[in-house]
Amino acid sequence: MDKLYIFGVPIHRVTMIEAVEILKGYLKEDRIHIVATPNAEIIMMAQKDEEYKKILNETDLNVPDGSGVVFASKVFNKPLKERVAGFDLMMEFVKWASHKDVSIYLLGAKPEVVEKAQSNLKNLYPSLKIVGFHHGYFNEKEEENIIEDINKRAAQVLFVALGAPKQEKWIYKNKEKLKVKIAMGVGGSFDVIAGKAKRAPEIYRKLGLEWLYRLIQEPWRYKRMSALPKFAFKVLLSKLRKNNF
Ligand code: UDP
């Protein structure tokens, strides 16, 4: 698969339609496939966290989540086809899966959030097979029971909403134990599905300003989001120095 490296993090050059097809293909293979959604924030995290960078180099699919990643690809004249946000990919996949016999498990977010997310998904797609769900505030001891529950219910697809980098590290650590075919980190997606957090309106997304909307909604995240201008600066600097990523 064609990929682009941004500061040591591989990003696959896929469209939304292609990404959904790839996920469908994973269901036919009898092993776990890890899907991540690197955006500028995640790539900057990986610069300071070698373990995280290594994990992102071992995932099966990294979709270009975020306009920062698409911007960087253009600066380096290696344009990515389009932005594939993790939330959108999850929803596209779930829409397809609701007509098929695909079993889904939701892990992460607060107890009332994950419960509401699963009921909202069931209302949206009554034939969707959500075989189980569990909140994301558990300790190491409870972890074994959760993994057992996921396997016992024969989930094929596991959406993990523990935030980055926790979710990717958790999936990676447990990849031998999990019997699912797809494990995908989906960040704050359950909060959006549960109606607790709002997705940026279309206009913000079209302009590549989803981060700005998020900053207005959740100003306390500004510290974490300071990774975005740092990322843009790093991209432009390496262009000026004619380095590749
Ligand atoms: N979360 C969780 N367990 C934790 C920490 C976080 O389940 O120990 C959940 C949190 O409730 C939220 C999601 O992980 O639903 C993180 O959302 P965020 O918007 O921070 O995701 P990111 O920006 O990292 O993709």
Q: Which two structure tokens, joined as six digits, stand for 55?
A: 């994990």
Tell me, what's the pLDDT at 198?
Answer: 86
Cis peptide, bond prior to residue 165, ω within 30 of zero = yes
Give one DSSP letter per residue of 34-53, joined into a string.
EEE---HHHHHHHHH-HHHH
Q: Model confidence over 203-238: pLDDT tens digits?
A: 998 888 888 888 888 888 887 778 889 999 999 999
CB of 215 within 8 A of CB of 116?
no
Q: How far does residue 189's CA lie from ligand 1's centre (Å)? A: 9
Report d(CA 43, CA 230) in Å as an integer: 11
Q: How far does residue 137's CA lie from ligand 1's centre (Å)? A: 10
Mean per-residue pLDDT over the chain, rounded: 95
Tell me, what's the pLDDT at 23?
Answer: 98
Tell me, what's the pLDDT at 1?
Answer: 84
Q: Is the model more confident about 243 or about 239?
A: 239
| Mean pLDDT (whole number) for 90-99 | 97
Tell me, what's the pLDDT at 214?
Answer: 86
In 3D, which of 5, 2, 1 has the Cα closest to residue 238? Answer: 5
Beta-bridge mates of residue 183: 34, 158
| Residue list, ligand 1 pocket, CB within 6 Å | 108-110, 136-137, 161-164, 166, 187-188, 190-191
Specify the residue with its C-alpha closest to ligand 1, atom 25. 187
User: How many C-beta atoms surround the C-beta of residue 148 within 10 A?
Assistant: 11
Percent of the chain surpassing pLDDT 90:
81
**Does the pLDDT of residue 243 top 80, yes or no?**
no
CB of 158 within 8 A of CB of 182?
yes
Q: Model confidence over 16-48: pLDDT tens digits?
A: 999 999 999 999 999 999 999 999 999 999 999
CB of 116 within 8 A of CB of 141?
no
Tell me, what's the pLDDT at 65?
Answer: 94
Q: How far does residue 77's CA lie from ligand 1's centre (Å)? A: 33
CB of 6 within 8 A of CB of 40?
no
Tell me, what's the pLDDT at 40?
Answer: 95
